[in-house]
Amino acid sequence: MQSAPALRTADNRTAIRRLPETLVNRIAAGEVVERPAAALKELVENAIDAGARRIDAVLREGGRSLIAVSDDGAGMGPEDLRLAVERHATSKLAGDDLVDIRFLGFRGEALPSIGAVSRLSIVSRPHGADSAQRIAVEAGEVGPVEPAGAPLGTRVEVRDLFYATPARLKFLKNERVEFGHALDVMKRLAMAHPGIAFSLSDGERVALRLAAANGDLFASRLDRLAAILGRDFAENALAVDAEREALRLTGHIGVPTYNRGTAQAQFLFVNGRAVRDRQLIGAVRAAYADVLAHDRYPVVALFLDLPPDLVDVNVHPAKAEVRFRDAGLVRGLIVGGLKQVLAAAGHRTATTISTAALGAFRAEGLQAPPSAWNRGFDFAPTRPSPVLMERAAEWQAPPPPDTTPPAELPPLGLARAQIHATYILSETADGLILVDQHAAHERLVMERMKAALAGQGVPSQALLLPEVVELAEDEVTRLDQRRDELAGLGLVLEAFGPGAVVVRETPAPLGHADVKALVRDLADSLAEIDQALALTDRLDHVCATMACHGSVRAGRKLSVEEMNALLREMEVTPRSGQCNHGRPTWVKLGRGDIERLFGRR
């Protein structure tokens, strides 16, 4: 079809004209429907708004040839069908207030935009109606409403997406990638609405099938999250329920040692709407700042609920971005709420670490399958030699001094040995625990410093002989500029010429730290902090640097009393399940795990 020639004025300028309605709809479609997954999202959101309890979707060729969504929602009569395919016609705004948005869809753009670039058909039967009605839209041309046979609810079929705008087809990825985007959309919507059953298939195989979850808010959400993210997430998830003024934050977050290499497993929702918001992502990052390595990302599913007038969901046609009236309040709720939950988790660490440890044992162990271990010997075992039995008795270790019955052992057990002067071996009621003494003590020292700062400040200890530390001039300048703030952290120093500082007092919680190494590392840390930013704003970063130098080092031998004291303090210290760099401080092997290693199970 040839385009109409441009109208020109007397001075040869192009005249302003109204675009044809079909072209307007195609332009709108470019904003709303950028790929098949976007069309699927709009259709499923409509089904959710219609009160559906079950939503089934089918995509063929990644959504190019077919996108079909069926639901058992309220359905539509003939007049509603006609209005549904008109631009900016919606049942989801009670008045004209664009601030009071209480549904996922509200613009009235989705169906007409999709119909402008595809072959769209809608068959719907409302509750109480004897039969269904059908309407079709092809490249923007709306057909009549006709009788049809269908069950209660609505079925929308989108065929040949973008056939009316073939240029857009060139920007689509391959079938597998496009289906992956659609699957991600379905998962996010399913997370936000656990009471609805969802399914997604490509016409041959079902990629997602989720039954409606039952129970209270937290139980049903966790069941749904476990079905999507896996049972490992459920086993390592912490429940979040925090409120501040009119805002409420709920959901589940993974313990710090259960993390990922990318941010793809962070799911954020605002009033039931999946969003990708930098403010929210930054707040999550800040909450995990002192318990996670900088290149690792937590696994979270968080749901923020607030009055509609406090959030603008009208920022972008795809509705994936939002704007808060009080962004500081939202950030404070997320950072504070998550920090409180992480602190309450205490010494808890990820169960997947134990699984990884078992895998390492098995990789280094016998190559025969476990079933072979239980078949007995390949030859009849001989009677043990009396001499060997006597020698074995001589080598029996004396009983441990602590005779506490296993059933009464504390959570992290009792120390039984130190391995390579680095790891503490502890016996628990149902297995054993291996503790990294430096990583664990590093966390304990940091938490002591943070607690002191929250109280009356970090106490300092004067050095008998002040320590002179030689540094580069720029490093001396950085430290001297922060001299007063560092004194508040218990480190008293001053410039000592252009290339050195003299240290007079060190933080008491660090004990006998290596002063030179501490100051040099601190100078490096300050280089990463904006000079305009107060140290209190990067307190976790600075405390972590200091704590590393005040911790018992790997290679230091500890007495049984010292090891047990470390275990008891870990049990009552927040965030002690991971060191200041996000690594686990301890690994547990259950008795059943140990028995499996030796083929007893």
Q: Tokens representing 379?
A: 């030859």
CATH assignment at residue 79: 3.30.565.10
Cα 358 to Cα 236, 361, 363, 439: the distances in Å are 18, 5, 9, 21
Q: Are residues 183 and 257 in the same domain?
A: no
Q: What's the confidence (pLDDT) of residue 33?
A: 81
Q: Are residues 116 and 165 in the same domain?
A: yes
Q: What's the confidence (pLDDT) of residue 132?
A: 96
Name 593's Cβ contacts closer than 8 Å, sequence gap at least 6: 354, 358, 431
Q: Which of 210, 228, 263 is the last residue of a domain?
A: 210
Range of the domain at 520: 410-601
- 3-state helix, strand, coil split of the chain in percent (to 5) is 40, 25, 40
Tally of residues, the chain: 601
Residue 391 belongs to a domain: no
Residue 241 belongs to a domain: yes
Q: Are residues 105 and 239 in the same domain?
A: no
Helix (H, G, I), strand (E, B) or coil at 564: helix
Cα 483 to Cα 297, 443, 490, 545, 587: the distances in Å are 33, 25, 11, 16, 40
Distance (Å, rounded) from C-alpha 178 to C-alpha 173?
6
Q: Which residues pair with 586 in a beta bridge?
A: 435
Other CB atoms within a 10 A radius of the CB of residue 240 amount to 21
Q: Which of 256, 263, 251 is nearest to 224 (CA)?
A: 251
Residue 91 belongs to a domain: yes
Strands (E) in 42-100, as ranges, are 54-60, 66-71
Q: What is the mean pLDDT of each run of 10 residues along the chain (601 residues)?
A: 53 70 65 85 94 97 96 94 82 58 72 90 94 93 94 96 84 92 96 97 95 91 95 94 96 93 92 90 91 88 94 75 91 95 89 73 51 38 42 44 67 93 93 92 86 83 91 90 87 91 89 83 78 56 70 79 93 90 88 84 73
How many alpha carbons lie under 13 Å from residue 397 in its C-beta half-sphere?
A: 5
Q: Are residues 160 and 200 in the same domain?
A: yes
Q: Tell me how many domains the chain contains.
A: 3
Task: Tell how far CA 319 is from the center of its chain.
Answer: 21
Q: Are residues 228 and 337 in the same domain?
A: yes
Q: Are residues 185 and 238 in the same domain?
A: no
- pTM for the model stands at 0.75
Q: Are residues 561 and 502 in the same domain?
A: yes
Q: Tokens representing 195?
A: 């009471």
Q: Which of 303, 323, 344 is the last residue of a domain?
A: 344
Q: What's the confidence (pLDDT) of residue 386?
A: 47
Residue 4 belongs to a domain: no
Q: What's the confidence (pLDDT) of residue 394?
A: 43
